[in-house]
Amino acid sequence: MRRRNLFRGKMLSLQQNCKRMDDKFVLRDSAEVVNRKLDLLLRTGCLLMECSADTTRIMRTLKRTIAYLGLRSEHLHLYVNYTILMVNYHDDTHSYTNFRHCKKHIIDMAVISEVSRLSWRSIAEDMTLDEYEAVLSELGMKRNRYTPWQVAIGSGFACGGFCIQFGCDWVSFFYASIAAILGFRLKMYLGKRGMNVYAGTGISAFVATMIAWLFSLLSVGSFAAYTPQFLHSGTPWHPLLACALFIVPGVPLINFVSDMLDGHIETGITRATNTLLIVGSMSFGIALAIKICGINNFVTDLSMIPHHSYWEFAIAAAISAMGFSMIYSTPKRLLLPIALGGIIAVCTRNFVNLGDSNGNIGLDQGIIIGSLAGSVLISLIITRAQHWYHTPHQCLSIPSVIPMVPGVFMYRALFAFIEMDGSVDQVLFGLNNLIKASLVILCIALGVALPHIFVHRLMANKRKQRLIDSLNERNRLQLEKEGASV
């Protein structure tokens, strides 16, 4: 009885203290503890930014982390940028300011998913700061979920899948894949040697295009008469269009549009600039290879209208989606759902895009409307599927729509500007591809983001209540532990 009375008295005292603190907030933790909490908060945000989470996802996860750390959000000011994160925490007499620099930028969907789960788990399990820091440090150490050759092979076949979407035959599919595998391995090697990322991008694109050109000689060059018939391709130039698409920065492109739509203008502009530099480096490497090979106008004249059956589109889309998932270090358990997502997105896009005007089955509404339809449909499906697989929407939606990113349109536009000789036709060709690529990217990003935004808003109260319930449960357990100790 005496222990029960002490426990009730402690709860009453805690409630009275909370009421008094509502009028005047006073930091109860020591300066060392506050600084440590702020450092953990910034480390969590930097890890998400370095792994290419969009800014809205970062802010959402950090709000849960703030609740776990016991920091009062109304006294905390957070600044999130592409390269640096800063936080200030204060009361009437104290002020603490910390900042942390983002040292690298990679794409790791597994870490984004695991950090999101950690923000919930830390509250549910009432982790100590030491336990939270240990898990966060483990996540910060990049783990290779796939071997370098597995990633290279996955990226190579992803480019081969793109080639099928452009209308090549299956012989060219393998030529594009082999060229992309070797080009990607070169890119990885140059990155490990510390070469500038844009220089490495240009060199890798140049080498991949040269290898694809060598394969084309088996079908149209002087070697064609000496090679077996099964090595001949009816579309020998298509691999040159697709072999370097492993470089196309699809995640930064979509994150850029998402950040701009959500009001994170500065971070969005930085992502857009980085994307433009990568695409420019890739275009320069491809243009140089084409000049050396002496190929005339294949970039401008080569038709990209496919004439395959939809089961072939489905196979190519699944291969591309899984291949890019491996590049993005997506957990292996998500590969099959992402492959299915890629099939739905690409086949929907093709059905709306293609039609009688180009000798295909479909609605004949054009690639812009088709890309919007495909991305909206798969995003709506994933808003439900993310709960089945307990992973953020971004980790499923972005790899699924990557096979629709218009990489060829982007570097066709840049190639036209590089080759510009003053003719009006060339200027119009470059502008046409640039505008078309921009609209397709915008539609893909809108299609991915808008359904998720609306569904998230509908579920915001439910998520908020879940967070409140988790915090109340943690407080209840803490009080029980304190009562038991008394």
- 434: Cβ–Cβ under 8 A, 6 or more apart, which residues? 409, 410, 413
What pLDDT score was predicted for residue 408? 72
pTM score of the predicted model = 0.83
What pLDDT score was predicted for residue 319? 94
User: What sign results for the dihedral spanned by CA atoms 175, 179, 184, 189?
Assistant: positive
Burial category of 307 from C-beta neighbours within 10 Å (exposed 0-12, middle 13-18, buried 19 and up): exposed
Alpha helices in 193-264 (DSSP H): 197-220, 238-242, 250-261
Identify which of 219, 246, 237, 231 has the alpha carbon closest to the alpha carbon of residue 166: 237
What pLDDT score was predicted for residue 179? 95
What pLDDT score was predicted for residue 456? 60
The residues pairing with 207 across neighbouring beta strands, listed in sequence order, are none
As a whole number of angstroms, the distance between CA 271 and CA 467 comes to: 31
Instruction: Using alpha carbons, list the distances in angstroms from residue 296 to 139, 207, 216, 271, 290.
Output: 49, 19, 14, 34, 8
- The first and second tokens of residue 270, run together, are 């930085």
- Average pLDDT across the chain, whole number: 82
What pLDDT score was predicted for residue 15? 44
Three-state secondary structure of 118-177? HHHHHHHCCCCHHHHHHHHHHHHCCCCCCCHHHHHHHHHHHHHHHHHHCCCCHHHHHHHH
What pLDDT score was predicted for residue 253? 82
As a whole number of angstroms, the distance between CA 416 and CA 402 comes to: 24
Q: Which of 180-189, 210-219, 269-278, 325-334 has the highest mean pLDDT?
A: 180-189
What pLDDT score was predicted for residue 37? 92
pLDDT band with cut points at 50, 70 and 90 for residue 282: confident
Tell me the helices (H) and strands (E) count for the chain, helix number first.
18, 3
pLDDT band with cut points at 50, 70 and 90 for residue 8: very low
Q: Using the 8-state DSSP alphabet, how is residue 294 labeled?
A: T
Instruction: Output 28 or 275, whichever has higher pLDDT.
Output: 275
User: What sign results for the dihedral spanned by CA atoms 361, 253, 401, 148?
Assistant: positive
Between 20-24, 39-43, 63-67, 141-145, the lowest mean confidence (pLDDT) is in 20-24
Look-up of token digits 């080759």: 419
- Single-letter residue type at 349: R
Q: Residue ranges of the domains in the chain?
A: 26-143, 148-460
Q: SS3 for 366?
A: coil
Asked if pLDDT for residue 104 goes beyond 50, the answer is: yes
Q: SS3 for 323?
A: helix
Three-state secondary structure of 402-436? HHHCCHHHHHHHHHHHHCCCCCHHHHHHHHHHHHH
pLDDT one-digit tens code per residue, 375-430: 999 988 988 888 888 888 888 888 999 888 876 777 677 777 767 666 777 778 77
What pLDDT score was predicted for residue 393? 83
Q: Is-contact 48 392, C-beta < 8 A?
A: no
Identify which of 329, 330, 365 has the alpha carbon closest to the alpha carbon of residue 349: 365
Q: Is-contact 77 87, C-beta < 8 A?
A: yes
pLDDT band with cut points at 50, 70 and 90 for residue 276: confident
pLDDT band with cut points at 50, 70 and 90 for residue 481: low
Between 9-23, 114-128, 187-201, 433-447, the lowest mean confidence (pLDDT) is in 9-23
Q: SS3 for 52?
A: coil
* Sheet with 84-90, edge to edge strand ranges: 76-80, 84-90, 95-101
pLDDT band with cut points at 50, 70 and 90 for residue 434: confident
Burial category of 464 from C-beta neighbours within 10 Å (exposed 0-12, middle 13-18, buried 19 and up): exposed
